[in-house]
Homo-oligomer: A and B are copies of this chain.
């Protein structure tokens, strides 16, 4: 079998998604679009009362219109070669004042940590985040001996690391 040499995922798999549950889809979409991500598509599952929202950094000219059938939009999504952020919205949580998901970084829900982005100008990115009224929870600065980082928070308080990117070495 092909996977025996290549690993369980077989030939040319794609690291396609990181999924987080969110309380309020509109609030999250506004944040991730302000971050610079592009909305790709949404799947609705009325029988199960939830929707999935997909975002990517890539501006993909092949994104199908939302009027296309869900099955067709899914087929398109499962052919994309880039990583996406998948946000799961269980309908109704946005109307429950006290409702909140665990961000994975505090007990007893500790486990998941964060997603992270390489950015060209860490300080400018953090300034833009604060100017828009979002939270920079760890100011930009060195972390030990591995470079300059910061942490911001999304509307559900999930952690997002920003890392000062380095130029690729000449080869």
**Contact: B164 with A125, CB < 8 Å?**
no
**A96 in contact (CB, < 8 A):** no
Contacts of A101 in B (CB 8 A): 110-111
Does B17 contact A36, Cβ atoms closer than 8 Å? no
Give residues 1-60 of A contacting B (CB, 8 Å).
Answer: 1-4, 6-21, 33-37, 43, 45, 47-48, 56-57
What 18 new A-B contacts, CB under 8 Å, besides A78-B118, A101-B111? Answer: A8-B152, A9-B125, A10-B121, A15-B83, A17-B116, A17-B161, A18-B114, A18-B116, A19-B112, A19-B115, A21-B111, A48-B144, A74-B145, A76-B169, A78-B147, A78-B163, A78-B165, A79-B165
- Copies held by the complex: 2
Which chain A residues (57-95) contact chain B, with CB distance < 8 Å?
Answer: 57, 62, 70-71, 74-76, 78-83, 85-86, 88
A104 and B113 contact, CB distance less than 8 A:
no
CB distance from A24 to the nearest CB of B (A): 14
Residues A78 and B164 in contact, CB atoms below 8 Å apart: yes
Instruction: Select one of B7, B113, B118 contacting A37, CB under 8 A.
Output: B7
Instruction: Decide if A97 is an interface residue (CB 8 Å cutoff).
Output: no
Chain A residues 135-171 with CB under 8 Å of chain B are 144-147, 152, 156, 158, 161-169, 171
How many residues does chain A have at the interface if contact means C-beta atoms less than 8 Å apart?
88
Interface contact A13-B146, CB-CB below 8 Å: no
- Name A's B-contacting residues (CB within 8 A): 1-4, 6-21, 33-37, 43, 45, 47-48, 56-57, 62, 70-71, 74-76, 78-83, 85-86, 88, 101-104, 108-121, 124-125, 127-129, 132, 134, 144-147, 152, 156, 158, 161-169, 171
